[in-house]
Amino acid sequence: MTPDLHRGPLHAVHVKAGATLGTFGGWEMPISYHGGGVVAEHTAVREAVGIFDVTHLGKIVIAGPGAADFVNSCLTADLAKIRPGQVQYTLCCAQDGGVVDDLIAYLISGDEVFCVPNAANAAPVARRLAAAAPPAITVTDMHDQYAVLAVQGPRSADLLSAVGLPVGNLSYLSFIDAEHAGVPVRLGRTGYTGERGYELFPPWDYASDLWNALLAAADPLGGRACGLGARDTLRTEMGYPLHGQDIGPDITPLEGGLSWAIGWQKPAFWGRDALLAERDAGPSRRLRGLRAATRGVPRAHMAVRSAAGAPVGETTSGTFSPTLRTGIALALLDATVRPGTTVQVDVRGRALPCEVVKPPFVPSHVRS
């Protein structure tokens, strides 16, 4: 392990389980597990339930008088539109409109917000918020104080009930502060797979106890441990953007199809002037879905051309879809390229015909 590579509290558990480990966002995390691999793990989430260790995700607490209003003046979505106990997808943008990160905001109260950024961006987001915060508001990076476990799939509620966590009628994009064996666990109905799912925030030192309880209860339900390989195929099937590929400092929310995550009526948020100007002019390129028409798998950073051979963009993510049994991709294309068009992806010198589609590639069940 390199000196700057982080390991979560479940590292030894994953090693013992025979996980294939890889580096993601500066963290050594499980990519897949022995005894099935990515396709089996992907299928478990679509058909039953999967358990992910996503402790690499950041955790930031913004607290103090008016903390929610402060966060709302920084991030793009309108936090005033949700109530305490609800969750919101939002963006941290630079003044030029580029995406510093996409994150989830948990509204605890008017004086406290719990934010979950991506692994590599947790510290930069925390620094930006801390630099802008008034003296009465504290911004605390709690990356190594909590683990994050994602329970995803049509039987996710059954699994949580089996271990005594009270999901009840918890609605999509809401959360509760619960307990497992007397230990506090924040439980949000969120996820990154397109299936009904939950993300759990146990204390760092309690992560292995909760993980083992979930895994034992998952087996009778047809569930299993899942790694970041399946997480990537699942999110790509849904067209969910990955920061650093599909959105980023050089890809704006409008280009990435995330204008719905912007509170356009708010008087202030980072990047507002640049994004308003881009909205008025119209983005020159848009993130679209590509579905392969023949055998072949598009990957990131492959050139995309029109049927006539003219350059029209580049893929940003690409994979084999275990659900559809074909290659799929996300691509930044000229805004003139519309869904229903046929394009060609340069797959190592071979032109792979693909249909331009509007994601998701498979139906979403997050609200079911």
Q: What digits encode the pLDDT tens for the residues 61-106?
A: 999 999 999 999 999 999 999 999 999 999 999 999 999 999 999 9
Interval 223-271: pLDDT, tens: 999 999 999 999 999 999 999 999 999 999 999 999 999 999 999 999 9
Mean pLDDT, range 144-151, rounded to an integer: 98
Tokens of 29: 């995390």
Give the pLDDT score at 34: 84
User: Which pTM was predicted?
Assistant: 0.97
Burial class (CB in 10 A: 0-12, 13-18, 19+), 206: middle
How many angstroms separate the CA atoms of 249 and 247, rounded?
7
Mean pLDDT, range 304-312, rounded to an integer: 97
How many angstroms separate the CA atoms of 126 and 129, rounded?
5
Mean pLDDT, range 181-210, rounded to an integer: 98
Q: Taking a C-beta distance cutoff of 8 angstroms, is the pair 260, 276 a contact?
A: no
How many angstroms separate the CA atoms of 200 and 100, rounded?
25
Residue 35 has pLDDT above 90, yes or no: no
Residue with tokens 């996503």: 54
Phi and psi of 164, rounded to 5°? 90, 15
Residues with Cβ within 8 Å of 307's Cβ and at least 6 positions away in sequence, in order, are: 341, 342, 343, 344
Query: Which domains, ranges and CATH numbers included, belong to the chain?
Result: 6-55+146-237 (3.30.1360.120), 56-143+252-281 (3.30.70.1400)
